[in-house]
Structure 1
Amino acid sequence: MSDMTTQGVTGTQGAGGTTGASGSAGAAGTAGGADVLIVGAGPTGLTLACDLSRRGVAVRVLERAARPHRESRGKTLHPRSLDVLAALGAGEGITATGTAHQVFRKYFDGEHISDTDPFAPADSGATAARFDSAVFLAQWQTEAFLRERFDELGGRVEFGAEVTALTQDADGVRATLADGSVVTAAYAVGCDGGRSTVRKLLGVAFEGHGGGGAEESMVVGDVEAPGLSRDVWHQWFTDGGAVLMWPVPGTESFQFQAGIERDAEGAAVPPSLEVFQRAFDQHAKAPGIRLREATWLSTWRVNVRMARSYRQGRVFLAGDAAHVHPIAGGLGMNTGVQDAFNLGWKLAETLAGRGGPELLDTYEEERLPIAAWTLKITDDRMRHVVSAVRTPGTGIEEALTDEVPTGYRWSSLAGAPGTAVLAPGDVAPDVRLVGGGRLYDVLAGPEFTLLGIGAGAGTALREVADGWSGPLRTHRVAPADEAAVREAFGVPGEALVLIRPDHHLALLVPGADPEPVAAWLGGRAR
């Protein structure tokens, strides 16, 4: 990249590298085994599979379902998740297929009230994010792009593989499948959803509330609606309820959402095409539209729960297996993607002998507080939006929030004190570079990245690279980009900035002293 001068790269693995993990992984990676066993092939499991595979870690992904589903389910990918998926090499198809700046069309009592784009226009400044809007696409589409990327990296999802028993000892994990076969691995990760078999086998409490019949919230499904415009997300509200219909890009389908219909005894009526049509007629008041081809029918129930712990020995929980919460704000799938991106590099470093139990402990240390916050804010926003939509012109954008935490300032991995702008643990900012590239292009690899800012940084970069045996990318910021990078990180002069493989800051060092960086890599990285 012309905007950044590479001063040295040591121990870098290629994107599809075959470098095997060392240490305990070698014993586990026997016939039928793997370095890491991932249970569940949803967005969380596939994100983790792609991240580990590009690091040369041997992965097996087991999915209980017999084949990939075609259900829209979670449809919102926020900018931070788009950054993650782009770094993994799965972002291009997702952003090309999905809808950014989705227009929300609000109606009240059948009357069109307003059209809004709840995502602010892109900032034109140097630190403007690459993705200035969430992207909307069906979950099955997101999963398909991630499976494709996993295939490119040499992996394959094993469908129809149900885990029925799980044991572990000091050497690894042993999973027994429904067909009697056994899979061994150094570590295992349960990414198998809110009803996680792995979590139940571990005996980890899933604390919170919801999930019973009294907590039923809405019916959801995928239907076609010939004659209904597909360029907006239709949101019809009345004093008695609502119907939402979001167009699944590249298809003829809409994701349908509506309140529960109840019979004369107050019992919930199971979802059906007829139930959907009655709700549509009641709230949309558009008699010319007839729904058809209901390919997915489901009932969504309010569930606010979190696993008491994210790790037991060599087994971890991620995504919905670790936390479930209301759909307000579309944070569920995103939280799982970011769980996986946090855990992947830590497993890889440990398997390579450059990490240990303390590094693995930071997965729960960093991600559990994020989940706890997400449960609270989504519960609060869900209650708020139910009330707010009674005002004509107000839609479910009321569920969105700018308060989503993205950093881990409390983490034991957070190094030296930060600046007035950033602190260790924060997500590194993206920066537009003079030559047309971006700082996140530099961070796209699986390595740690050490940025050098200022004339004296070159020597420090070489010293750190020569003294560290692990994957490390070093970059001297080009003089033309120094002003923008300094402003983004809040450093007035020369500085070294160590960035973790998951884009979070490890430490910011004023001046060009390589010792704090070497100490962090040699100590905290373990």
Structure 2
Amino acid sequence: MNTGIPHATFDETTPVLIVGGSLVGLSTALFLRWRGIPSLVVERHPAPARLPRARAINPRTMELFRALDLESTIRAASSPISGNNEILRVESLAGREIERLVEGGADDLKAASPTSWGSIDQDQLEVILLTRLQSMGADIRFNTELLSLEQDEQGVFALIRERASGNTQQVRANYLVGADGNHSTVRDALGFSRLGPGTISHATNIIFEADLGEVLRGRRIMLCYISNPLLPDGQGFLMPIDNKRRWMFSSSLHPERGERREDLTDECCIEQIRIAVGVPDLEIKILPAYPWDTVKVGMWELTALYAEQYQRGRVFLAGDAAHAILPTGALGASTGIQDAFNLAWKMALILKGQAAPSLLASYEEERCPVGKLMVKQTMQRFFYRTGSGSSSLIDDASLIFGYRYQRGAIVAELDSAEAPLAQHPSTLSGEPGTRAPHIVLQRARERLSTIDLFGRNFVLLAGEEGTPWMTAAGTVANRLGIALDVWQIGPEGLCDVEGRWYTTYGVSTTGTTLVRPDGFVAWRSSELREQPEQVLLDVLTRILGK
């Protein structure tokens, strides 16, 4: 998208312009601000959404928010359906159960992390992020859209418009992040194509109130898939919103056949809901799906697509703009938030002059294969839930904690190229490119996890005889001008409560592990090596591109 914006004239500047102020855009802004980097967020909608959309974030993503001291805030705003755990496929809610769905394995994820699933509705999580950002003085502009952008070697030039007044501004940014969803303006401007199954279907969003207590029969339903020939395409979907009277119902809609949400009257919606519930005379009140929309019925696309490029020059994609993930498995929002964290720590180091711009090439190298994997696995879960095809599922633990970066900002070991993209975390042993494992530690009388050591800076963990590595770390950090936290695992440092650190991280008492700010292992040495200072300098210089 090149409009010839005069580079010498602009109304304002910002280190990072974030297009999209939903969950991923707000997360990107927060992760940057936490690292001391301001940004400008523009969101075309007039206000945050008021539908739950995502209903949970996975434990790996909770680890990231835990680093920002947001875990307790998020748990205090838990979803009304946080105690619901049943996923069903039925003929109707009152009728025959076809199947109780169990997917992704029944692993106890407690062994892999100090935290757990965050059962919070997306609209509530966005409020938390927005409130925290506003308290930090962030610049977030709703009802504002991107009109055009271009870039050169020095920066990005964007034209934005405030939709209510029509006023436009020219913004210069060092970097631009497109977190503007499935129909990304930024992605279109870059000309990036996408691969994958495409749009599976269009579906209605119908919010309604009704008393379903009798037909629930005590079941704590999280999701209910309806297979009934009387519904459009024989499929429907019910989800509780407040666990009382408010529900969401979805069924197929075919714009290609001229079907429009505007034509769905209350009477039509009520008829479909009564079929799905299985009560012909059920009293139902239809509510507006979106507060800013004059049409009561919303519409959304079930899309499974992934971009093969996440970056061009100084412009990046994150979240649904990069990978449109089906809402089956609570992987979409979490994957997007993890994109944001990966990108933010790298941008912050570069903007502070602590790393070379080449570090950002590792964002696409690392996150693109993960996005593709999540698109494919949520497609498999869709087949399983709807009974519309055969499925091959990777277990939840492997998808959440066991994916690896096969290349990028790591010093890979010789056999890493042959390793699978995702494997069960219990089979990992601290290899570079994998998430650093959770180990219970003790400091004085305080219990903590290795995970609690990560998030802000690079971290060097040394064995109880690894003092030379610790000494080298201080010297190298000063030379490179970076923050490097150093911890010793052993009697003189952090006590390994369960005696598992050496085997779990794959090092000896003289060895060391270097962990990135995002909690992924960057490099390790199983034992002490000659000239540890030079070794560590070479490793960090390679990773930072300096």
* Letter matched to residue 295 of structure 1: P
Alpha-carbon distance, 1:458 to partner: 3.2
Q: 1:131 to 1:271 in 2, by over 3 A?
A: farther
Q: Percent identity?
A: 27
- Of 277, 287, 300, 1:284 maps to 277
Name the counterpart of 1:23: none
Matched, 1:523 2:542: yes
Q: 1:289 to 1:96 in 2, by over 3 A?
A: farther
2: distance between equivalents of 1:258 and 1:206? 26
2: distance between equivalents of 1:370 and 1:120? 22
Q: 1:494 to 1:191 in 2, by over 3 A?
A: same
Alpha-carbon distance, 1:493 to partner: 3.0
Name the counterpart of 2:221: 232
1: distance between equivalents of 2:152 and 2:399? 38
User: Tell me, which stretches of 5 or more residues in structure 2 are unaligned?
Assistant: 1-6, 162-166, 290-296, 417-426
- Of 202, 205, 212, 1:220 maps to 205
Greater shift in the superposed pair: 248-257 or 463-472? 248-257
Name the counterpart of 1:181: 169
Assess if the C-alpha contact under 8 Å between 1:426 and 1:505 holds in 2. Answer: yes
Assess if the C-alpha contact under 8 Å between 2:377 and 2:393 holds in 1. Answer: no
1: distance between equivalents of 2:287 and 2:488? 56
Counting only pairs closer than 5 Å after superposition, residues 289-368 of structure 1 correspond to structure 2 as: 289-296=282-289, 297-368=297-368
Name the counterpart of 1:10: none
Instruction: Name the SS of the counterpart of 1:57 in structure 2.
Output: coil
The two structures have a TM-score, normalised by structure 2, of 0.79
Alpha-carbon distance, 1:63 to partner: 1.1
* Letter matched to residue 440 of structure 1: I
Assess if the C-alpha contact under 8 Å between 2:409 and 2:543 holds in 1. Answer: yes
Q: 1:331 to 1:442 in 2, by over 3 A?
A: same
Alpha-carbon distance, 1:351 to partner: 1.2
Which of the pair has the greater relative contact order for Cα pairs under 8 Å at 6+ separation? 1
2: distance between equivalents of 1:249 and 1:347? 39
2: distance between equivalents of 1:309 and 1:273? 43
- Of 442, 447, 453, 2:457 maps to 447
The root-mean-square deviation of aligned C-alpha atoms, in Å, is: 3.4
Matched, 1:56 2:36: yes
Name the counterpart of 1:34: 14
User: Tell me, which stretches of 5 or more residues in structure 1 are unaligned?
Assistant: 1-26, 391-395
Alpha-carbon distance, 1:163 to partner: 1.1
- Of 128, 133, 148, 1:145 maps to 128
Q: 1:275 to 1:341 in 2, by over 3 A?
A: farther
**Deviations, residues 360-416 of structure 1 (Å, cap 9, x unaligned):** 1111111111122222222333233322799xxxxx998975552754342142225
Aligned length: 485
Assess if the C-alpha contact under 8 Å between 2:507 and 2:525 holds in 1. Answer: no
2: distance between equivalents of 1:389 and 1:225? 33
Name the counterpart of 2:86: 104
* Letter matched to residue 363 of structure 2: Y
Q: 1:295 to 1:488 in 2, by over 3 A?
A: farther
Alpha-carbon distance, 1:199 to partner: 1.6
Q: 1:220 to 1:308 in 2, by over 3 A?
A: same
Assess if the C-alpha contact under 8 Å between 1:498 and 1:517 holds in 2. Answer: no
Name the counterpart of 1:154: 137
Assess if the C-alpha contact under 8 Å between 1:359 and 1:525 holds in 2. Answer: yes
Alpha-carbon distance, 1:511 to partner: 2.4
Matched, 1:472 2:451: no
Name the counterpart of 2:193: 205
Alpha-carbon distance, 1:342 to partner: 1.0
* Letter matched to residue 220 of structure 1: N
Assess if the C-alpha contact under 8 Å between 1:35 and 1:59 holds in 2. Answer: yes
Name the counterpart of 1:408: 404
Instruction: Name the SS of the counterpart of 2:502 in structure 1.
Output: helix
Name the counterpart of 2:518: 502
2: distance between equivalents of 1:399 and 1:452? 34
Alpha-carbon distance, 1:159 to partner: 1.1
2: distance between equivalents of 1:138 and 1:180? 34
Alpha-carbon distance, 1:248 to partner: 3.2
**Deviations, residues 52-77 of structure 1 (Å, cap 9, x unaligned):** 11111121111111222212222231
* Letter matched to residue 527 of structure 2: G
Instruction: Name the SS of the counterpart of 1:37 in structure 2.
Output: strand
Instruction: Name the SS of the counterpart of 2:441 in structure 1.
Output: coil
- Of 427, 449, 459, 1:438 maps to 449
Assess if the C-alpha contact under 8 Å between 2:89 and 2:101 holds in 1. Answer: no
2: distance between equivalents of 1:97 and 1:115? 28
Alpha-carbon distance, 1:318 to partner: 0.9
Assess if the C-alpha contact under 8 Å between 2:107 and 2:397 holds in 1. Answer: no
1: distance between equivalents of 2:150 and 2:268? 45
* Letter matched to residue 146 of structure 1: L
Q: 1:463 to 1:398 in 2, by over 3 A?
A: closer
Matched, 1:485 2:468: no
Assess if the C-alpha contact under 8 Å between 1:82 and 1:131 holds in 2. Answer: yes
* Letter matched to residue 159 of structure 1: F
Alpha-carbon distance, 1:471 to partner: 1.8
Assess if the C-alpha contact under 8 Å between 1:97 and 1:250 holds in 2. Answer: no
Q: 1:239 to 1:251 in 2, by over 3 A?
A: closer
1: distance between equivalents of 2:431 and 2:394? 29
* Letter matched to residue 221 of structure 2: V
Instruction: Name the SS of the counterpart of 1:77 in structure 2.
Output: coil
2: distance between equivalents of 1:262 and 1:492? 62
Instruction: Name the SS of the counterpart of 2:204 in structure 1.
Output: strand
Assess if the C-alpha contact under 8 Å between 2:463 and 2:512 holds in 1. Answer: yes
Q: 1:323 to 1:340 in 2, by over 3 A?
A: same
Alpha-carbon distance, 1:117 to partner: 7.8
2: distance between equivalents of 1:277 and 1:290? 9
Q: 1:261 to 1:317 in 2, by over 3 A?
A: closer
Instruction: Name the SS of the counterpart of 1:67 in structure 2.
Output: coil
2: distance between equivalents of 1:176 and 1:251? 45
Name the counterpart of 1:255: 248
Name the counterpart of 1:130: 114
